[in-house]
């Protein structure tokens, strides 16, 4: 019983860390997959031809996230680029902020015409439960972890 009392906190702490890491990884994979699948509607011209708004794109994106994240807290930027080399993927978050930090850039919805180069960026602050997870490189001061996904493509000549 004494051995259990000594080892149980360590065992359950490691178990909780594994579970939290798995949840972050799962959310990250779902986000990546949802961004690529939703971006296909832009690439094929479906979003442009049916006059989608940012809300329509968000709804399509959220369908692929299976309620693992709060879709209202996603930060989405869709913009047209001059060339592939000008793609700059930067999180819309100020790392020097200590508390009550919001997104530093507004959301953007510019899906572009046919044959244009488009950058789609989606970021999300995934809430963390365990305090030692703050040691991760993408942990934020507010107790969350910054997840992000981006894709760059040329729209089809629809």
Counting Cα atoms < 13 Å in the Cβ hemisphere of 41 gives 20
At residue 51, the 3 state secondary structure works out as coil
Across 115-134, average pLDDT:
86
Specify the pTM. Answer: 0.88
What order of strands is seen across the sheet that includes strand 108-109?
Answer: 108-109, 75-81, 117-127, 144-154
CB distance 89 to 121 below 8 Å: yes
Which residues constitute the domain of residue 74? 2-154
* 84 vs 128: which has the higher pLDDT: 84
Q: Which residue has the higher pLDDT, 133 or 119?
A: 119
Give the pLDDT of residue 93. 86
Tell me how far apart the alpha carbons of residues 9 and 11 are, in angstroms, rounded to a whole number.
Answer: 5
Give residue 40's pLDDT. Answer: 96
Structure tokens at 104: 């530093």
Interhelix angle 54-63/2-43, rounded to 10 degrees, is 130
CB 116 within 8 A of CB 155: yes
| Number of domains making up the chain | 1
146, 101 Cβ separation under 8 angstroms = no
């Amino acid at each position: 019983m004494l051995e259990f009392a000594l080892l149980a906190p360590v065992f359950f702490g490691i178990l909780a860390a594994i579970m939290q890491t798995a949840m972050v990884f799962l959310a990250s994979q779902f986000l990546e997959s949802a961004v690529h699948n939703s971006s296909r509607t832009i690439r094929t011209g479906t979003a442009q031809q049916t006059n989608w708004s940012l809300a329509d794109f968000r709804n399509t994106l959220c369908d692929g996230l299976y309620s693992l994240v709060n879709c209202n807290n996603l930060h989405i930027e869709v913009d047209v680029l001059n060339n592939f080399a000008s793609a700059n993927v930067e999180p819309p978050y100020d790392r020097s902020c200590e508390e009550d930090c919001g997104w530093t850039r507004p959301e953007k919805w510019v899906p572009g015409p046919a044959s244009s180069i488009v950058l789609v960026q989606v970021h999300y602050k995934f809430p963390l439960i365990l305090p030692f997870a703050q040691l991760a490189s993408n942990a934020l001061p507010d107790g969350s972890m910054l997840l992000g996904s981006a894709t760059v493509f040329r729209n089809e000549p629809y």
